[in-house]
Structure 1
Amino acid sequence: MFEHEPFETFQVKVVELCQKEWPNLSRDSFTITRMDGGSYNRVINIQVDGSRYQASWVERQVRWFLRTFCPGMLRKTELRDYVLRIPRMEHAWVEHEVSILKFLAATSIPKPKIKTFSFSTENPIGSRYTIQPRVPGKSVIDVYSELNTQQRISFARDLGSALKEMSKIQSPSPGTLNPDSILAGSSEAQLLRLQCPPRNAFRQTNEPFVAATPQTVQEFLMSQFARQRAFDLTLNRKFLNPWKPFTAIIQHLHTLGFLNDNIYALTHMDLEPRNMLIHITSPTTATLSAILDWDETVFAPTFMNCRSPYWLWNFEESDDEPEEADANDIPEDFDLAAVKKSFEDAAGEDYCKWAYTPEYRIARDITRLAIMGIWSNMDYDEAKEILKEWNAAYPQLEVCGIFDDGEED
């Protein structure tokens, strides 16, 4: 799909990279295994056998003793797995990916760690990369349906605690971490104004980096609407203008008192089951071992970090997809209700308020589009649904459609 070099030949270059990163290990110390990557990164597993370390005579004697009398202990300490992540696109912002994980290192949020990285292509694989210790566990989306109730309760508690911890990482300004400050070892995180459109692995904007400044949530959203509208006009989207009715809704929400918390919290913009690892440790325990793919993390209005993970208590396959609007409904099934309560107790009252209040859900959907932009018919359909829901809830404050003349297609 991405016209990359086949794994069969590329793995030889990965071994050469490993020899550079672990110069005291022999070539046969590394076992390279292909992994399923994602849209943004090619992913390869590296197993490192530390027993092949070119050690001193004393170290070799200790290893011989352990290998002879305590082989189990030696095996556990000498074999380590790492993940090599290679950006698929030249526009990937690897500096931000590294800096956010370094920033998170001081928190209790489950996340991968960085062993080493390179922002240069002058290396055996000819690409920038990060190497991370491999986190135990499997993708939630692959195994959650197999968990029993106690394991689900355990995992839900972990996820609620992680989201509560994220909500405590706050800023008076919206924006994204400045990688330069983090990589330079600054003790205080500096924020950059969000780029419009946002930079990602497939797209690099020409906007210069600008330091973020404190704004009220209303001011932030109004400025984002104006910037997104200006960008839309460069694409000749003259008559498609969802930002006009969004402006009216945000003004109404502000007047109604829903946007008075002018605090911005660390927000993972793609917090889905596919980006979480679960580690089953016992018949009654399953832990959240890591949240993955922090590439698009921003500081956004606090309610943005509070989209309910309602799939925790509504994961079973059915003909009807669950809707976020129904997230606060208590499941009739006693076990599923227990999972929901476990999450909510850990996440806290404020989280539940922002997650379940319909006005915050509408504000969250609008803010996501204001940050990420509108790129597809699906995004426009989502905008229409937002306006439909608002007009049904507040007919006395009805807003126009996504066309400037107010008429629907």
Structure 2
Amino acid sequence: MSDNIKSPRVVAEHVEPAPDVDNDAASIASSENSTTSTEEFEHEPFDTFQFKAVELCEKQWPHLSKDAFTVTRMDGGSYNRVIGVRVDGSWRQTSWLKRQAQMFLRTVCPGVIRKTEIRDYVLRIPRQEHAWVEHEVSILKFLAATNLPVPRIKIFSLSAENPVGSPYMIQPRLPGKPVTEVFLELNTQQRVSFARDLGRALKQMGEVQSPSPGTLNPDSILAGSSDTQLLRLQCPPRNAFRQSEDVSEPSTPQTVYEFFMSQFARQRAYDLTLHRDYLNPWKPFEAIIRHLHTMGHLNHNVYALTHMDLEPRNMLLHVVSPTTASLSAILDWDETVFAPAFTNCRPPFWLWDREVDEDDDDDDDMDEADAHITPNDADRAAVKKAFEEGVGEEYCKWAYMKEYRLARGIAKLAITGFFSNMDYDVAEKIIKEWNEMFPHLKVGGMSDIEEDED
């Protein structure tokens, strides 16, 4: 690990979790009733693809028989097709030679107890052929050295020369279910427990820091280098659906103010290639950031690990007992970057402000303005207090202060750019709220035509 990136180390062996039977049953049931991903992404149907998945498993566990593997179709995400894999490593499934050795061991050492090893995994296969799998792998390998609850990698390949014809990852399956599926079922004690767990995890994320913005260099991590390097943010950012033409360059230290101004310039240059001549959101953003800099709000010149899609759907919640629920894992780190520290501090107000279910759109930014308000309901107030105790004062300052809330929205747009009408709606809300908050520092709109006419 480079001295430039601060990250706590964990000196402990990773223990694969026990199978979550309820989770398996739910996944199997939901997958049997859905063909959406096969149709939407034109994938090979699971009925035939499952045999390729089993063949892949046979190559990875050559000492086991074909009957040792059970594959099940699971609900995947936008970036990856997901298949459940159960591996029965008991002696009945192993090769004849290994069975004989185990039988001999039990004969000469009758005190030895045979351990039946059943492990559950998930096989993740990118939906797009140009997916940046090495980036995903490097992020998870980097995070494995922290205390953060993240999926581990059992096996991975960056080559398509295999039975499934694609790069892939095989990961131990984690206990728990997405928060959106189970949060409504929790009692107050369980919600308090989970909120404190989530707060601690977000605090740990904030402690993984760098003097430079950017993304992890997968080459340095996959090569096993002790010097973790960052690459300059790509513009536009690369993802599984869009491969950036921007050449990756090493990132260098810069102030947060410099970060904003350089990103605005890069994004504007990209916008002009798309002939967005007269719609320029970066011009009012430049004015807002200059004002925030003058006010002293951008003086913390460090960049923290930032999950760009930290929503309830990407968190696994594990009900441990009638009084305890834990954060089993944070998922989908594909778009992770190092960004200004306040960028990752959007408060999870859904914990105490409203109910969360599977139909939540997770994008109601209007509620974020009231996230600092403690609910009158005692149970919800207890949940909010538990989260704040876990996450710490610095996070709360960046989460609740209106100036940082606006800066956070600007930072995310500066990183991702504008690719939908929703992005422009968010920009308009930021500009409108700024002008209402600071009428003496009013900034112009996004349309250069309107400003010229004025």
Normalising by structure 2, what TM-score?
0.86
Counterpart mapping for 1:9-408 below 5 A: 9-51=48-90, 52-54=93-95, 55-60=98-103, 74-75=115-116, 78-316=117-355, 323-406=367-450
Amino acid at match of 1:160: G
Query: Percent same amino acid at aligned positions?
Result: 68
- Show structure 2 runs of 5+ residues with no match: 1-39
Q: Secondary structure at the match of 1:11?
A: helix
Q: Secondary structure at the match of 1:97?
A: helix
**CA shift in 2, pair 1:159/1:317, >3 Å:** closer
- Show structure 1 runs of 5+ residues with no match: none
What displacement does 1:187 show? 1.6
What displacement does 1:315 show? 3.2
How far, CA to CA, are the matches of 1:122 and 1:65 in structure 2? 44
Q: Secondary structure at the match of 1:185?
A: coil
Given that residues 180 and 356 in structure 2 are in contact (C-alpha distance below 8 angstroms), is that contact kept between their aligned partners in structure 1? no
Equivalent in the alignment of 1:5: 44
How far, CA to CA, are the matches of 2:107 and 2:289 in structure 1? 69
How far, CA to CA, are the matches of 1:63 and 1:342 in structure 2? 51
After TM superposition, what 4+ stretches of structure 1 lie above 2 angstroms from structure 2?
Answer: 60-66, 317-322, 405-408
How far, CA to CA, are the matches of 2:101 and 2:300 in structure 1? 62
What displacement does 1:65 show? 12
What displacement does 1:406 show? 3.8
- Give deviations 1:34-88, integer Å, cap 9, x for gaps: 000011000000000001122252313567999xx97xx844xx11100000000
Given that residues 138 and 277 in structure 1 are in contact (C-alpha distance below 8 angstroms), is that contact kept between their aligned partners in structure 2? yes
Amino acid at match of 1:339: V
- Give deviations 1:186-212, integer Å, cap 9, x for gaps: 122100000000000001111111000
Given that residues 166 and 266 in structure 1 are in contact (C-alpha distance below 8 angstroms), is that contact kept between their aligned partners in structure 2? yes
Amino acid at match of 2:380: L
Given that residues 112 and 292 in structure 1 are in contact (C-alpha distance below 8 angstroms), is that contact kept between their aligned partners in structure 2? yes
Number of corresponding residues: 404
Given that residues 190 and 325 in structure 2 are in contact (C-alpha distance below 8 angstroms), is that contact kept between their aligned partners in structure 1? yes
How far, CA to CA, are the matches of 2:80 and 2:448 in structure 1? 39
Normalising by structure 1, what TM-score?
0.95
Amino acid at match of 1:53: T
Given that residues 145 and 315 in structure 1 are in contact (C-alpha distance below 8 angstroms), is that contact kept between their aligned partners in structure 2? no
How far, CA to CA, are the matches of 2:108 and 2:334 in structure 1? 45
- Give deviations 1:125-168, integer Å, cap 9, x for gaps: 10110000001110011101110000001101110000110111
**CA shift in 2, pair 1:91/1:333, >3 Å:** same
